[in-house]
């Protein structure tokens, strides 16, 4: 499991899109390879993130599958 840094800018803040609504995004932090959504988010409402989930960097234009994180 990668530590969870953006391969371009090293940022650890990312987001994923709601598979049913691409304008609905879920921000999370990657700590030690683990996904941590904002604490004010209901766990039942956050999407599952696995290796093949399209992940977007919060700080730059990078996006790719989750397992491409460094």
Footprint on this chain of Zn ion (rule: CB under 5 A): 6, 8-9, 11, 57, 59-60, 62
Minimum distance between the CB of residue 38 and Zn ion, rounded to whole angstroms?
18
Of 5 and 47, which has the nearer Cβ to Zn ion?
Answer: 5
Report the C-alpha gap between 39 and 10 in whole angstroms.
22
Minimum distance between the CB of residue 15 and Zn ion, rounded to whole angstroms?
11
> Which residues fall within 8 angstroms of residue 70, CB to CB, at 6 or more apart?
2, 3, 4, 5, 6, 7
Of 37 and 69, which has the nearer Cβ to Zn ion?
Answer: 69
Q: How far apart are the first and last CA of the chain?
A: 9
Of 43 and 61, which has the nearer Cβ to Zn ion?
Answer: 61
């Amino acid at each position: 499991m990668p530590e969870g840094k953006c391969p371009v800018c090293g940022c650890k803040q990312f987001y994923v899109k709601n598979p049913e609504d691409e304008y609905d995004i879920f921000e999370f932090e990657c700590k030690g390879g683990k996904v941590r959504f904002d604490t004010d988010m209901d766990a039942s409402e956050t999407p599952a993130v696995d290796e093949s989930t399209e992940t977007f960097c919060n700080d730059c234009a990078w996006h790719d599958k989750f397992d491409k994180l460094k």
